[in-house]
Amino acid sequence: MTMGSSGGIRFRSLVLLLVAYLGGTRAREAPLPLPSASARTAGVANRRAPERHGLSLDFYGKTCPAVDHIVANVTAERFRDHPAAGPAVLRLFHHDCFVEGCDASILIAPAGKAAGEKVERDMEENRNLPQYGFETVEMAKAAVESKCPGVVSCADILALAARDAVQLAGGPYYAVKKGRKDSKVSLAGKVRGSLPHANSTVDELLRVFAAKGLGAADLVALSGAHTIGFAHCAHFLGRLYDFRGTRRPDPFMDARLVKALRMTCPYTGGSARAVVPFDVSTPFQFDHAYYANLQARLGVLGSDQALFLDARTRPLVLELGADKARFFRAFVASMDRMGSIRVKKGKKGEVRKICSHHL
């Protein structure tokens, strides 16, 4: 995609927005790794999809009918005071569901070096998960416990808070099915290989998603969550300075974006906490600009830009980039599927009183 004079003006505006934003928000947030409905087994043949259990919209209809409203009050206040909390919660939900299912195992806090086995949060893939997300879920849980003690799981509260994060940023509101139980354990060893990485190839992404029973359309739709949120410099530094050992920037990143990102992310000596928005055009708005950015070579992460470069996923990028309503429908459908992965029911799970500590 080429840019004429109006495009050049627009791009300069984006650069100014990017630099101005980063100047005051370096330490606020981190990326959502994250993460789709047609090719359910794309990239992986003969692999059995994870077991899914039935959830329902009225699961707490008699025991805690106001749960959606209670959680929404907390998330709205958090979003007003800390806008970074929204994408942080959304990223938490993705990281939770992709490791042993949607069971709030990501919320269990490390017990300390002398306490034994490490938990999911100890792993490198999860160390940069922003505290804003954990705090928001704990606050929502406390509010729910004050009205409905011992009833609503942390896993369901996380799913509700993720939905609220999408809506508060301008995205669609959708009904969230409930009935998940919380995991009794959180095992660090289950993380490796379960989550996409910042520079994953499309082959690797499709394999990760297929292992969860999700397909190429889910991959592209859920990756649209990167319309909000932020990435640490370390996740794309190679694209700016030494792409695949060439000592040159990634040729598939617009040169002007390379220049703008280098201002915040030097090759050496930069802050480990410096971040940039995934979506350099509308970083705080949940919309479909993310897909237009990929078409213009403005994808920050290599795994994002790869979706437009690969012939298997490019048509989906074009489709969702052309129609915001279609993106919203696809995103909601894929969130519903992701939210049903390996749900714990009955005695296989529990309802924690404090999300960071199992019973």
Strand partners, 350: 182
Instruction: Tell me the C-alpha distance between 217 and 219, whole Å.
Output: 5
Instruction: Tell me the C-alpha distance between 53 and 15, whole Å.
Output: 46
226 is in an annotated binding site: yes
279 is in an annotated binding site: yes
218 is in an annotated binding site: no
200 is in an annotated binding site: no
- Read off the tokens for 322: 């052309």
Query: Within its chain, how far is the Cα of 285 from the centroid?
Result: 15
Q: Is 358 a catalytic residue?
A: no
53 is in an annotated binding site: no
215 is in an annotated binding site: no
Instruction: Tell me the C-alpha distance between 114 and 149, whole Å.
Output: 32
- By the 10 Å C-beta count (0-12 exposed, 13-18 middle, 19+ buried), 295 is classed as middle
166 is in an annotated binding site: no
164 is in an annotated binding site: no
25 is in an annotated binding site: no
For 92, 113, 123, 189, 268, the CA distances from 110, given in Å and listed in that order, are: 16, 8, 10, 14, 31
What 3-state class would DSSP assign to 48? coil
227 is in an annotated binding site: yes
272 within 8 A of 258, measured Cβ to Cβ = no
Q: Considering 94, 95, 232, 288, which one is annotated as catalytic?
A: 95
Instruction: Tell me the C-alpha distance between 53 and 331, whole Å.
Output: 21
Instruction: Tell me the C-alpha distance between 353 and 139, whole Å.
Output: 12
Instruction: Tell me the C-alpha distance between 12 and 236, whole Å.
Output: 21
Residues annotated as catalytic are 95
Binding residues for substrate: 196
In the annotated binding site for Ca(2+), the residues are 96, 99, 101, 103, 105, 120, 227, 279, 282, 287
Q: Which residues are annotated as a binding site?
A: 96, 99, 101, 103, 105, 120, 196, 226-227, 279, 282, 287
